[in-house]
């Protein structure tokens, strides 16, 4: 039976490191609050003008190098992002061209924080169906574009201006502080190859979506329910910034990630103790600690990097995978479970033999 093996991985971290104390220069927040409630200590932002595809290209080049795969061998591209370079066309085709790949099929998918897991299923289905043999799966995001901060805020964030922020802008930045402090910019990529050896590869996946409560985590403006789809009034009302019911998302993430992990393990005759490592989407360290306790996982079985990068949406799982492989925490044959929950709502789990 054909299996989809993750043959190489790569990451791209944005250049500007932003600490919680730096954020406290431009909104009413503190390092203590952010660390305690979310676990985030730093996140990284790109230079203005950098595109999501740029991060994807860097991560993909590193993944190709690790896999030892030539560009002409790639026969499928899947790009998971909710922050594309532009409204259309999507990042998949742009990445295909930037990397000099053959004109192979390229999909963009929008499952937010579950994007990487959905992408893995799409690639795995193509490989099992004989439609692809060597695929590139990318998850990349530039969230800094969501920040409704004017030039004065950015200058203070960078430490270029010391005078306090004008009160109106302080009020605006503070009004979305529960959201903005969470996110960072990054890209992750994996090269996935078809293998006949059944001992390695994607074993099984359980993915879910339920749009009933989509409005609890969404970008309310800049869509084609409006005419025109974007205008200055929408921006003035901050409708280009995601709305998030944090408590609801926290509760659903802990519940759904635990359920998906249990369901997948059960139908594969495994227990949490059989896993070498569990890679959870990095949205909030407290969410992941809760899931760890619910599943009875030891500290050695989980790995987090949200402290350094914040939530990077579709990039979190490939970033973690890449760090763990390069750090020797994942070795060929290891049973690894990936679990994610995100806007949509979408969620799921993927079981892989590394
Ligand atoms: N700094 C300081 N205070 C903040 C703050 C910040 N960055 N953000 C919110 N607060 C304040 C609130 O205004 C509120 O103040 P009040 O009590 O005076 O009204 C207080 O902290 C508690 O707010 P609440 O929203 O109830 O906090 P919380 O403990 O639920 O933490 C989140 C907020 C966002 C960190 C948390 O709900 C969360 O992480 N949810 C999941 C988010 C997520 O996973 N998103 C990605 C989707 S995959």
pLDDT value of position 197:
83
b or e along 291-327 (b: 16 or more beta carbons within 10 Å of the residue's beta carbon)? bbebbebeeebbbbbbebbbbbbbbbbbbbbbbbbee
Is residue 132 within 8 Å of 124, Cβ to Cβ? no
> What is the 8-class DSSP label of residue 14?
-
Give me the CATH topology for the region 201-353.
Answer: Peroxisomal Thiolase; Chain A, domain 1 (3.40.47)
CATH architecture of 3-195: 3-Layer(aba) Sandwich (3.40)
pLDDT value of position 92:
98
Residues 6 or more apart in contact with residue 3 via CB below 8 angstroms: 127, 194, 195, 196, 197, 198, 200, 201, 202
Specify the residue for token string 């994610």. 340
Q: Determine the distance separating the centroid of ligand 1 and the alpha carbon of 191, expressed in angstroms.
A: 36
Phi-psi region of 295 (alpha: psi -120 to 50; beta: other; left: phi over 0): alpha
Is residue 76 within 8 Å of 105, Cβ to Cβ? yes
Is residue 219 within 8 Å of 240, Cβ to Cβ? yes
Binding-site residues, ligand 1, Cβ < 6 A = 29, 33-34, 37-38, 113, 177-178, 181, 217, 244, 246-247, 249-250, 253, 283-284, 287, 311, 341-342
Extract the residue ranges of the chain whose pLDDT is less than 50.
none
Domain span(s) for CATH 3.40.47.10 in the chain: 3-195, 201-353
Q: If DSSP codes are grouped into helix, strand and coil, which group holds residue 201?
A: strand
Q: How far apart are CA 176 and CA 242, in angstroms?
A: 9
pTM of the model: 0.97
pLDDT single digits (tens) 44-87 = 999 999 999 999 999 999 999 999 999 999 999 999 999 999 99
pLDDT value of position 173:
98
Specify the residue for token string 């932002």. 45
The CA distances from residue 187 to 181, 284, 318, 333, in Å, are: 19, 18, 8, 25
pLDDT value of position 11:
98
pLDDT single digits (tens) 212-269 = 999 999 999 999 999 999 999 999 999 999 999 999 999 999 999 999 999 999 999 9
Which residues are bridge partners to 201 per DSSP? 353
pLDDT value of position 258:
98
pLDDT single digits (tens) 46-58 = 999 999 999 999 9
pLDDT value of position 25:
97
Q: Catalytic residues, which ones?
A: 113, 281, 311
Mutate to test the pocket of ligand 1, among 171, 246, 309 (most ligand atoms within 8 A of CB): 246
Helix, strand, coil fractions of the chain, as percent rounded to 5: 40, 25, 35
Atom 5 in ligand 1: residue holding the nearest Cα = 178
pLDDT value of position 198:
84
Q: How far apart are CA 278 and CA 138, in angstroms?
A: 20
Residue 260 token pair: 């998906």
């Amino acid at each position: 039976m054909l299996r989809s093996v993750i043959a190489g991985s790569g990451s791209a971290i944005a250049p500007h490191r932003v600490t919680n104390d730096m954020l406290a220069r431009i909104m009413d927040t503190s390092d203590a609050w952010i660390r305690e409630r979310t676990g985030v200590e730093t996140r990284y932002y790109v230079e203005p003008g950098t595109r999501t595809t740029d991060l994807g290209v860097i991560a993909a080049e590193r993944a190709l190098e690790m896999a030892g795969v030539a560009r002409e061998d790639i026969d499928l591209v899947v790009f998971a992002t909710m922050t594309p370079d532009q409204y259309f066309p999507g990042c998949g085709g742009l990445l295909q061209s930037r990397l000099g790949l053959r004109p192979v099929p390229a999909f963009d998918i929008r499952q937010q924080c579950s994007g990487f897991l959905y992408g893995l299923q799409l690639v795995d289905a193509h490989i099992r169906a004989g439609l692809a043999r060597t695929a590139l799966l990318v998850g990349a995001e530039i969230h800094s574009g969501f920040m409704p901060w004017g030039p004065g805020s950015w200058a203070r964030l960078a430490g270029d201006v010391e005078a306090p922020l004008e009160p109106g802008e302080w009020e605006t930045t503070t009004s979305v502080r529960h959201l903005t402090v969470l996110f960072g910019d990054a890209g992750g990529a994996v090269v996935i190859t078809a293998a006949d050896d059944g001992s390695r590869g994607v074993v099984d996946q359980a993915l879910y979506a339920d749009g009933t409560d989509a409005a609890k985590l969404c970008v309310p403006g800049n869509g084609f329910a409006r005419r025109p789809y974007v205008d200055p009034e929408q921006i003035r009302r901050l409708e280009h910034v995601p709305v998030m019911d944090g408590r609801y998302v926290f509760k659903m993430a802990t519940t759904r990630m635990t359920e998906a992990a249990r369901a997948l393990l059960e139908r594969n005759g495994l227990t949490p103790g059989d896993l070498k490592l569990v890679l959870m989407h990095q949205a909030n360290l407290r969410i992941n600690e809760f899931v760890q306790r619910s599943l009875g996982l030891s500290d050695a079985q989980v790995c987090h990097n949200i402290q350094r990068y914040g939530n990077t949406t579709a990039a979190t799982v490939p970033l973690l995978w890449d760090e763990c492989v390069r750090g020797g925490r994942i070795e060929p044959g290891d049973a690894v479970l990936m679990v994610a929950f995100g806007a949509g709502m979408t969620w799921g789990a993927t079981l892989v033999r590394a």
